[in-house]
Amino acid sequence: MRDAVRKIHLLALLQLTFLAACGGSGGGSLSTGGTGGTGGSGQTIASAAPNVVTMTVDAGPAGLGANTTFNIPYISVTICVPGSTTNCQTIDHIEVDTGSYGLRVISSVLNPAIFSGLPQEATSANVPIVECTQFGDGFSWGSMRLADISISGEKAASVPMQVMGDPNYPTIPTPCSNTGPEEDTVAQFGANGILGVGPFVQDCGPPCTSSTQYGLYYACPTGGGACSPTFVLLSQEAANPVATFTTDNNGVIMELPSVPDAGAITAKGALVFGIGTEGNNALGSATVLTTDTSGEISVTYNNVSYPTSFIDSGSNLNFIDPGSVTVCGTSPNQLLCPSSEISTSATAVGLNGTQSTVKFNIGDSTTLFNNNPSFTAFNNVAAPSSDPLKKTFDFGLPFFYGHNVFTAIEGMNTAGGMGPYFAY
């Protein structure tokens, strides 16, 4: 194994550019011939309705240059100054992420009237609250503000959201900048913002109401004084706005169509609000997999159990234990590149003991990307998991094509029981 890994490193050194972005020389022909998509038979994608917003996988917002995106689902979100019906802005290319919580928007995309109108959250000493959001590839730094959030016909009043890269707070505390690279511009982030609709309400939850050890929330004096770590109220934490909708507030369904094995230029589906609350969002025969307090389930793959696994629309690849499959590629992702496409399966097991086996394919990711550089939707691309403990199987966006994936929010009742759970 060591020799194989070292060989991969040597190979990577010879690759001077990011394979997925450069396109150009094709790496041989792809052996396809498998069935398109994963599952998908009988899938219904909701048509336009007040609880439905179009969700599209495409190359991302303008201004990304060579770093266009793939396997990232986007929607449009409207924010208003609380109580206003006129000081509003609709923002496109908001990334939909079941692996995080709350709405966060890049400050530079906000128009000045709404930016200045969004009230800032403050501590009990009336010091503005600024968040250091930790992601898996860097951090975002920006003020916590309140906004009325509308998506299609759904509305949430006065919800805490983050303005990423707020120029009013230019000095990032060292403990925050020490967590990685900053991602506060559209070019750095690959989206105009992100909507976290995972199975919890807040991004931190109770821990950040009594401890500053997590490094998420800071009190930053207006006018530029030094920021200091702070507790916040649960109601002040960045929050999944779906839980605050007046109706259809117990979860979401991500509905993306199947795509061919070779991929597709784009994929257009729907983000549906509510589970079993309308005629278009019934749980049906979907298998309910309850999660633990981290939002995790167990997955068995190749006879190995991965107890800290999750289902994440914000992961653009399936991140799995590569086993004997060839690893190739370099920054920003290593990739799996089998010489011929592999058809395999994994069994997801909920905390409730129910299980569901998922078939999926692993193609040669670099060849898939190189064959069609303009494609953005792939159901068969995977990469090695970064979990050092080798306990994680991350069902990323490739899993979502052809499945309607339900995410029920903690403490919310549904026909399938109480959240938190995933179902598909």
User: Could you tell me which residues come within 8 angstroms of residue 421 by beta carbon, excluding any fewer than 6 positions away?
Assistant: 199, 288, 289, 290, 291, 350, 352, 406, 407, 408
Range 28-57, binding another protein (CB under 8 A): none
Range 231-270, binding another protein (CB under 8 A): none
Q: In terms of CB distance, is 1 or 125 closer to another protein?
A: 1
**What is the nearest approach in angstroms of another protein to the Cβ of residue 101?**
6
Q: In terms of CB distance, is 2 or 125 closer to another protein?
A: 2
Range 295-354, binding another protein (CB under 8 A): 295-296, 308, 310, 312, 314-317, 319, 330-334
Q: Which of 213, 285, 303, 324 binds another protein (CB under 8 A)?
A: 213
How far from 391 is each of 76, 296, 298, 342, CA to CA, in Å? 35, 11, 9, 22
Total residues at interface with another protein (CB under 8 A): 76
Only one residue has tokens 């004084």, namely: 225
**What is the nearest approach in angstroms of another protein to the Cβ of residue 421?**
15
Residue 211 CB neighbour total at 10 angstroms: 11
Only one residue has tokens 């997801």, namely: 348
**What is the nearest approach in angstroms of another protein to the Cβ of residue 325?**
13
72 scored as a contact of another protein (CB under 8 A): yes
**What is the nearest approach in angstroms of another protein to the Cβ of residue 343?**
24
Span near another protein by CB under 8 A; candidates 80-88, 172-180, 227-235, 275-283? 172-180
Q: What is the DSSP string of 55-98?
A: EEE-S-STT-TT---SS-EEEEEEEE-TT-SSSEEEEEEEEEET
Q: Is the dihedral of CA 94, 97, 101, 106 positive or negative?
A: negative
Span near another protein by CB under 8 A; candidates 118-126, 143-151, 222-230, 377-385? 377-385
**What is the nearest approach in angstroms of another protein to the Cβ of residue 280?**
28
Total residue count of the chain as it appears in this document: 424
Q: Which amino acid is at 185?
A: T
Cα–Cα distance, 213 to 199 (Å, whole number): 23
Q: Which of 229, 274, 338, 384 binds another protein (CB under 8 A)?
A: 384
φ and ψ of 134, to 5 deg: -90, 130
Read off the DSSP letter of residue 237.
Answer: S
Range 118-137, binding another protein (CB under 8 A): 134-137
99 scored as a contact of another protein (CB under 8 A): yes
Span near another protein by CB under 8 A; candidates 118-126, 266-274, 351-359, 381-389? 381-389
Q: Which of 84, 305, 390, 415 binds another protein (CB under 8 A)?
A: 390
